[in-house]
Amino acid sequence: MARSWADLPQELLRQCSRRLCPKNLSVFRAVCRSWRSAAVKEWSDVPSLMLADKGEMLWREFFCLRCEQFHTKLLPEVMANRYFSSRDWVLTISRDWEFQMLRNPMLRYSRIIKLPSWNKFPDIYVLPPFYVSFITKFVLSDSPTTSQDYKVMVIYDHGRRLGLWKPGDEEWTAVTSPAVEYCDVIYHKGCFIALDGEGGIYRCDVDGSTPFEAQVVFEMPERLLEPFGLVQLYLVQAMTGSLLFVSQWEDCSDFSMSRRRPTGSYRFDVFEIDLDTQTYTEVLSLENKSLFLGHNSSFCLEVDENHIIESNCIYFTKYNIPPSQFTEDGGVTNMGIYHLKDGTIKPHVKGKSSPLLWIEPSF
């Protein structure tokens, strides 16, 4: 029998530390030398939410799904106009329009990587009106934490172009394609895969013979993309490696183009796409998996009965939230946990702040 807390078995302490979020893991490690030596390295198998910026404050607020608590952290380096996330990294666009990537801010030690700024994009000489939407998506091919051969792709110029950057480059490189406007991009099976607003899917093989071209590889049927009520389209790589196409719809009380009144009720349709056979199949159940969608590079997680994340669900957020979307308890009506089985939605966080984006776990 242990005579004190410091004498608890190392394996027991190690297993306990694996169940903690990064913030609580730091507290665990500070208890004593024995606990610090037994604790696992910083990691997480549960996403966290970085909450909305509160003006000029140097502290950022996070909501952890594992402990279901809010955490604050002093992060002057993330005071920015816009934020995006991919894998376990956050792209920040500062108020001076400088670009940098920050490793998961929830961790004790964050690494910063500077990227070329807005004036290093091709054919961009001045910031256009409404430049807050200059970047609309950000995706990493690999995590810089584990690979030096990573690449960055963004959707820029209000969704009209794709930009590519690799370590060592001083400028962004434009990727050409027939698309008029993009709504999502992910990294899938060694290539960047982009999606336009009409269901067209484009593949860019940055290591192939045409690294700066994105070619059409699939088109979703028009009947699945009727404009009335369509909110957003997403691409996700499933845990099996397959490509998922997700559409988000808002129910409306009036479907006329001139007077469309949203009801605040949403549904999601999911399809698995096989680019080799040029076929698609509706996915009625995600089984023991869940999707995370929003102003982040979409991702999929596998869960079990002991996991805090609910299975067969879509966790979704939205970046721009008008005041009318806030409820009396501090929540909002356009984000939450969508249950694919019955179409019900419940909140994943309630409080005074609105969620901004998912930060993917760092395994």
Q: Are residues 123 and 241 in the same domain?
A: yes
Q: Are residues 249 and 308 in the same domain?
A: yes
Tokens 């934020």 — which residue?
83
Range of the domain at 134: 42-359
The answer to whether 247 touches 273, Cβ cutoff 8 Å, is no
For the chain, give the mean pLDDT: 81
Would you state the pLDDT for residue 53?
Answer: 63
Q: Are residues 34 and 84 in the same domain?
A: no
The Cα 274–Cα 251 span in angstroms is 29
The answer to whether 84 touches 357, Cβ cutoff 8 Å, is yes
Non-local (6+) Cβ contacts of 253 within 8 A are: 261, 263
Would you state the pLDDT for residue 56?
Answer: 57
Bigger pLDDT: 128 vs 253: 128
Q: Are residues 107 and 181 in the same domain?
A: yes
Would you state the pLDDT for residue 350?
Answer: 66
Q: Is the pLDDT of residue 20 over 70?
A: no
Q: Are residues 133 and 262 in the same domain?
A: yes
| Cα 241 to Cα 188, 281, 293, 301, distances in angstroms | 8, 15, 17, 12
What torsion, rounded to 10 degrees, do the Cα atoms 83, 216, 243, 160 define?
Answer: 10
What is the DSSP secondary structure assignment for residue 35, as one 8-state letter? H
State the pLDDT confidence band at 195, using cuts at 50, 70 and 90.
Answer: very high
Question: How many independent structural domains does the chain possess?
Answer: 2
Tokens 């009144």 — which residue?
261
Residues in the chain: 363
The number of angstroms, rounded, from the C-alpha of 240 to the middle of its chain's C-alpha atoms is: 19
pLDDT tens sequence across 94-113: 877 889 998 877 776 678 89
Long-range contacts made by residues 273-276, C-beta under 8 angstroms, separation at least 24?
Answer: 273/201, 273/218, 273/242, 273/243, 273/244, 273/245, 274/242, 274/243, 275/201, 275/203, 275/217, 275/218, 275/243
pLDDT tens sequence across 21-44: 666 666 766 677 776 666 666 556
Q: Are residues 20 and 157 in the same domain?
A: no
Would you state the pLDDT for residue 25?
Answer: 63
Secondary structure string (H, E, C) spanning 13-32: HHHHHCCCCHHHHHHHHCCC
Q: Are residues 50 and 110 in the same domain?
A: yes
CATH number at residue 134: 2.120.10
Long-range contacts made by residues 301-304, C-beta under 8 angstroms, separation at least 24?
Answer: 301/45, 301/47, 301/239, 301/361, 302/239
The answer to whether 344 touches 350, Cβ cutoff 8 Å, is no
State the pLDDT confidence band at 229, using cuts at 50, 70 and 90.
Answer: confident
CA-based nearest residue to 219, from 278, 131, 157, 283: 278
Q: Is the pLDDT of residue 84 over 80?
A: yes
Q: Are residues 31 and 90 in the same domain?
A: no
Percentage above 90 pLDDT, the chain: 39
Q: Are residues 67 and 149 in the same domain?
A: yes
Would you state the pLDDT for residue 33?
Answer: 73
Helix (H) or strand (E) holding 128: none
**Beta strands at 243-254 and 230-237: parallel, antiparallel or unpaired:** antiparallel
Q: Is the pLDDT of residue 170 over 80?
A: yes
- Average pLDDT for 199-210: 94
The answer to whether 108 touches 156, Cβ cutoff 8 Å, is no
**In 3-state terms, the chain is what percent helix, strand and coil (to 5)?**
10, 40, 50
Q: Are residues 50 and 76 in the same domain?
A: yes
Helix (H) or strand (E) holding 115: strand 112-115
The answer to whether 51 touches 105, Cβ cutoff 8 Å, is no
Q: Are residues 134 and 219 in the same domain?
A: yes
Strand order in the sheet with 191-196: 182-188, 191-196, 200-204, 215-219
- Average pLDDT for 170-191: 94
What are the tokens at 233? 């389209």
pTM metric for this prediction: 0.83
Q: Are residues 147 and 31 in the same domain?
A: no
The answer to whether 283 touches 312, Cβ cutoff 8 Å, is no
State the pLDDT confidence band at 321, using cuts at 50, 70 and 90.
Answer: very low
pLDDT tens sequence across 250-305: 876 554 444 444 455 789 999 999 999 999 999 999 999 999 998 888 999 988 77
Q: Is the pLDDT of residue 5 over 60?
A: yes
